[in-house]
Structure 1
């Protein structure tokens, strides 16, 4: 099973799955349960050595069908964040972010073809926290503890989170 198979089965992006596998993105209980169901397990069985990983024969029928469909179609084309970035820039250029908005609300503003390709509002969250976007848009924790985004010029100064960019050195790129 490929990362894209798992992403399709739980309605996540392939990038999200890769980041989860590499430990760059955490998961909540609901996500753990979705992933475990793909393997015909419960979330608490995945890390338990008494419950070995399912063989292909043991996989649920829906998982087998999804893998079979992907194998017949080939690997899906990789989505580029460039298209998402351009669409987010368009949203930033409107009055939509004069008030705090969640990544889900921003996702809902995207064209249907972009929503279909990125599959989840999590990609919006990830991209909005990049340094280039953070120059214009503040990340704010709302009163109900949700991560929201608002144009810096309209954002209350006392609620802005300082998102520190990941240095190139920590990504493994040494030198220029």
Structure 2
């Protein structure tokens, strides 16, 4: 019995990752996505659309039909897009990704630690706090939206809104400014 096309595509992608010394997280970062696209495809969570297949193939300087062809010659490193080359060099230097498990309290405390740098500021944006976090924690949180969510819930006793909003002239919800009111650690007490 032959493999289905998704399994075959994942096998090809896994071969490319191993060939270049990359990991799923590297693909996630190169695609600038908050989810592990490889795991999503494997689990059938988000089926492989042509757009996704094309984006992954472009990481290796290929069209989707070239990448999906097991007979197609793997490109030399020097022929890959610059960002992919840089990621390969970086990964070779730092080694395999180290996964640190964060529980909810650890996440909250890590954000409170980051707030230390903002304690004397009149105002700051959640995106500035997010940008100041270590990369592995940013990957765990996924986006600035999680920081804003923490500020509204578990860390509401640590920060408060200033009432000012960032107006970048864009459509959509404007970011709100916050200020630090406490650096005390611990989960918010339920009332």
Same fold by TM (over 0.5)? no
Question: TM-score, normalization: structure 2?
Answer: 0.38
Please tell me whether Structure 1 or Structure 2 has the larger radius of gyration of its CA atoms. 2
